[in-house]
Amino acid sequence: MVGRTAEPVRGALSVLAASCLSAQAGAATSCDAGRVDLRWQGGQASFAVELAETPEARAHGLMGREILAPEAGMLFIYEAPQHVRFWMENTPLPLDMIFADGTGRVTRVHEDAVPFDRTAIDGGANVRFVLEVNAGTAAHLGIAPGAELRHPSVGTGAAWPCE
């Protein structure tokens, strides 16, 4: 992390932990287009999300964004499962990328994507959803492949359906 010290990062992770833990209580209540819930063995969390549903919105993503609230993220939604690759060009914010299939099951987690890096980050095949959150979130909470993502856009056949 260029230009940052360990102390602000630790402080940010403490805030992140508190926010995500408080968000866990709301994760089991209901589905909302502005939230993504994740659950896995040993935990769950909920994030307020901006949606990237169009090709233009997906292409822009979080470019230029310098701050993302600890309990926030961006959910990329594809019309059909496909092979996706992301990069961090013009993105000053370090991110974790959580890739999920058409059922909302997490298939891959890429931690600590490097700001401004043009190297392709391969999400793999059959990806329909990508959740971008602050770097360190996935490791801190224990989000890994096999976790389940819940959002109204997952629809029929969801591993964790909306009620």
Task: Give all domains of the chain, ordered by start, each with its CATH number.
Answer: 6-150 (2.60.120.1140)
Residue 136 one-letter amino acid: G
- Say which range, 13-22, 29-38, 68-77, 112-121, has the weakest mean pLDDT: 13-22
pLDDT tens by residue, 5-54: 333 333 444 444 444 444 444 444 589 999 999 999 999 999 999 999 99
Across the chain, mean pLDDT equals 87
Q: Read off the tokens for 19.
A: 């926010």
- Is residue 52 within 8 A of residue 61, CB to CB? The reply is yes
Please state, in angstroms and rounded to a whole number, the distance separating the CA atoms of residues 27 and 108. 21
Using CB atoms within 10 A of its CB, is residue 118 exposed (0-12), middle (13-18) or buried (19+)? Answer: exposed
- In this predicted structure, the answer to whether residue 152 has a pLDDT above a threshold of 60 is yes
Q: Read off the tokens for 36.
A: 């993504």
